[in-house]
Amino acid sequence: TVSQLEMTSETVSHLEMTSETVSSLEMTSETVSQLELTSETVSQLEVTSETVSQLEMTSETVSQLEMTSETVSSLEMTSETVSQLEMTSETVSHLEMTSETVSSLEMTSETVSQLEVTSETVSQLEMTSETVSSLEVTSETVSSL
């Protein structure tokens, strides 16, 4: 019985050692679970770093958009200038039409002045015809004489 008890005491000591091992294993399992948590954190950090790089890309895009908005505003200014130029070209074409009208008016005024000269000639011819008729009257008088 004593020898059995000694064996039992050895078994108990083994069991105690085993319980220590179990407790250390439990500690290890805690460590493993912490490591798993850490790996999750690392994966989250990786996702965050991706997000940061995307945000950097987005900030580049925003700066490009700002440049584009500047380009658009300058294009709008250019379109205003073009529309003003179109208005100016319309004005020029009107002015050209007006200059044509003025030149035709000048031609008309020349024609009028020629007509005036002609009307003078006609009045002189009328005076001449009167003179001729008086000469005819004179010739009749001469013949009667």
Residue 76 pLDDT class (50, 70, 90 cuts): confident
Residue-level pLDDT at 63 = 83
State which H helix or E strand residue 89 sits in. Answer: helix 2-144
Tokens of 53: 């790089």
Residue-level pLDDT at 100 = 83
Tokens of 42: 């690392």
Compute CA 40 distance to the chain's CA centroid, rounded to the nearest angstrom.
48
Residue-level pLDDT at 131 = 83
Residue 82 pLDDT class (50, 70, 90 cuts): confident
Q: What is the pLDDT of residues 7-52, one digit of tens each?
A: 788 888 888 878 888 888 888 888 888 888 888 888 888 888 888 8
